[in-house]
């Protein structure tokens, strides 16, 4: 994604949106019926959900109008929320934002609506389906490629494109989060860090501990010993991102 991009999602879709640097972003939700009706009223044509999720580069004037309205709504919410609860103000702002969004979508200039992009999106959807089917199970590359029906080369390209990391790194982070959840729920009288770490395929316990601290801001033993009602430490987003991108 780059500055000014808009993603129009197909009906019922899931997608990864990756940015190379810090950003500010917003989302707008409209039902299919509402956006179709707004399109008929504003640009005299029905706007329907696209057959494939794609990225749009709207005209600068239309984009600036939408961004300014979005910023104004956020400013009101922070500085004068009582104004937003007034029915006519809420309706006027809602209609202005919808009109601006229709102006952007009606430009209909998809950037990456191409066969390779759609194929990669299907591979990633299949990846998530396989992961959801076994949420507590550690998965490794051979098993994953067979379950998805894609070669490692294809999966590697898709993950690099849409996640910004290799599939091995993505699976490792998933196993790390599974271990974190198990440690958070574990009883230190009945289990140990070694037992939980090895349950999720981490056999180099020193490296596991260093990576765990980098990702979650504390040692595995601290997580295991914490009482259920104790708050977890605030995660440092920069450290987490650096850890994810380090391989």
- CB of 42 closer than 8 Å to CB of 102: yes
- CB of 212 closer than 8 Å to CB of 172: no
Q: Residue 54 forms beta bridges with which residues? A: 8
**101 burial level (CB within 10 Å; 0-12, 13-18, 19+):** buried
- CB of 16 closer than 8 Å to CB of 162: yes
Query: Which band of pLDDT confidence, cut at 50, 70 and 90, is reported for residue 232?
Result: low
Six token digits for residue 48 = 């329907």
Residue 233 has pLDDT above 70, yes or no: no
User: What residues contact residue 194 under an 8 Å CB cut-off, 6+ apart?
Assistant: 205
**Predicted confidence (pLDDT) per residue in 100-136, tens digit:** 888 888 875 555 545 677 788 888 888 888 888 876 6
Query: Which band of pLDDT confidence, cut at 50, 70 and 90, is reported for residue 246?
Result: very low
171 CB neighbour count, 10 Å cutoff: 19
User: What residues contact residue 48 under an 8 Å CB cut-off, 6+ apart?
Assistant: 32, 35, 36
CA distance 231 to 184: 11
Output the pLDDT for position 216: 93
Comparing CA positions, the residue from 102, 128, 115 lying closest to residue 45 is: 102
Output the pLDDT for position 90: 82
User: pTM (2 decimals)?
Assistant: 0.50
Specify the residue for token string 């009223």.
Answer: 41
Residue 242 has pLDDT above 60, yes or no: no
- CB of 209 closer than 8 Å to CB of 220: yes
CA distance 34 to 30: 6
Q: Residue 110 forms beta bridges with which residues? A: 56
State percent of the chain over pLDDT 70: 82
């Amino acid at each position: 994604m780059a500055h000014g991009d808009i993603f129009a999602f197909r009906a019922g879709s899931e997608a990864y949106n990756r940015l190379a640097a810090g950003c500010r972003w917003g989302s707008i939700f409209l039902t299919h019926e509402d956006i179709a009706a707004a399109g008929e009223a504003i640009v005299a044509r029905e706007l329907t959900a696209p057959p494939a999720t794609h990225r749009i580069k709207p005209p600068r004037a239309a984009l600036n109008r939408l961004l300014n309205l979005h910023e104004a709504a956020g400013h009101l919410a922070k500085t004068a929320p009582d104004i937003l609860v007034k029915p006519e103000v809420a309706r006027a702002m809602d209609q202005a934002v919808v009109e601006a969004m229709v102006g952007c979508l009606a430009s209909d200039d998809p950037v990456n609506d191409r066969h390779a992009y759609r194929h990669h999106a299907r591979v990633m959807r299949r990846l998530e389906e396989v992961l959801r089917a076994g949420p507590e199970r550690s998965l490794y590359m051979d098993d994953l490629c067979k379950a998805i029906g894609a070669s490692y080369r294809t999966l590697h390209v898709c993950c690099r494109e849409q996640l910004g990391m290799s599939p091995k790194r993505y699976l490792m982070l998933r196993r790390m989060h599974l271990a974190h959840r198990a440690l958070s729920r574990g009883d230190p009288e009945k289990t140990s860090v070694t037992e939980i770490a090895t349950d999720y395929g981490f056999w180099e316990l020193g490296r596991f501990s260093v990576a765990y601290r980098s990702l979650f801001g504390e040692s595995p033993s601290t997580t295991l010993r914490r009482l259920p009602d104790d708050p977890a430490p605030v995660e440092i987003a920069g450290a987490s991102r650096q850890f994810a991108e380090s391989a």
